[in-house]
Amino acid sequence: MKKPRPTSLARRAPGLPAQPSVTSLRAGGALPLGFDAAARFTYDGSFDGLLSVLLTCWQLRRWPEAIAPEGAAQGGLFSETHSVPTDEAQARRVWEGLLRHMPGEARTNLYKTFLSERPDRELLIFRYVQLAIQAAGQDISENFADDTVRTVAEINKQLFREKHRMEAFVRFERTQDGLFHASIEPDFDVLPLIAEHFTKRYADQRWLIFDRRRRYGLYYDLQRTDVVSFDRAVEAVAAGGSAVSAAVLDEREPLFQVLWQAYFDHVNIPERKNVKLHRRHMPKRYWRYLTEKQPRERQFRPIANKNNTAAG
């Protein structure tokens, strides 16, 4: 699969639980050089839209007091508000232009910051770009003493962890027509980040990973991986004549689920029981889609393997 240009995957931001904002908007009240006044901005919620906002800020010499997707924005009493239309060509220019101020990795980190869905993500991205421009060629990505830089680094750590978790916790089920499908509900919008991993790894099977919270998925058809909407996801599953709801599992699917559960039960060492550690590594919110955390059809019977246990 060719590496997706982030903008093609950029999606509307669904409202996630709010997290406290870390960036202060204006240092000490005075506006930085190059800005005449403060203003509020709204956009369509796509990454391209945000890049268009960034350009507008500098063009209008307006320091963004708030940047929010339309609908989610709260109007300020006295400040002017600009609704910025998304311009893909402009967005591409900004995206290319960022490389003049930061290394590619830092730029990718800004895209990941966007995927975090934090309510202050837009201002963080603006602040970061502003800092990079001010630094005039010096790479700021390791300046952890700065709140914005450190917050972006921390968000990226969280995103990385969630991406890694999804690479671990996806559980495919095989349907009769050979599609492997899985549902997930990640904390952040990480589907665009895991596409490459699954495409490389499962190159010889059709698969579909569906994000139930954000209602879109990734579908690999043995040729390429595409972002698919809910309707397309249903179609993909139905390609073999079955629909998602009535998807008939492969006849050996239940057996492998039972085998996996049996394996999971038997590799545990009861003498080392440490539930706290277990939950730290595998938080409860992920259990819903984990085969090994589903109720057992039959009760677990330990293997009698000690000659001091009664049943030898």
By CB under 8 A, name the binding residues for other proteins: 140, 142-146, 150, 164, 167-174, 180, 182, 197, 200-205, 222, 252, 255-256, 258-260, 262-278, 280-282, 290-292, 302-308, 312
CB 191 to other proteins: min, Å: 15
Please list the residues that pair with 209 across neighbouring strands. 182, 218
CB 141 to other proteins: min, Å: 9
Of the two residues 40 and 163, which places its CB atom closer to other proteins in the complex? 163
Of the two residues 5 and 266, which places its CB atom closer to other proteins in the complex? 266
Q: Tokens 């870390």 correspond to what residue?
A: 22
Phi, psi of 194 (to 5 degrees): -100, -5
Query: Which residue stretches of the chain are H helix?
Result: 6-9, 47-60, 88-97, 104-115, 121-134, 147-169, 191-201, 230-238, 253-267, 275-281
CB 264 to other proteins: min, Å: 6
Is 235 within 8 Å of 241 (Cβ atoms)? no
Of the two residues 82 and 197, which places its CB atom closer to other proteins in the complex? 197
CB 300 to other proteins: min, Å: 9
Of the two residues 86 and 261, which places its CB atom closer to other proteins in the complex? 261
Which of the 8 DSSP states describes residue 195? H
Of the two residues 118 and 171, which places its CB atom closer to other proteins in the complex? 171
Give the angle 267-273-275 at the CA atoms, nearest 5°: 105
Is 53 within 8 Å of 68 (Cβ atoms)? no
CB 42 to other proteins: min, Å: 32
Q: Of 198, 200, 165, 163, which Cα lies nearest the Cα of 181?
A: 198
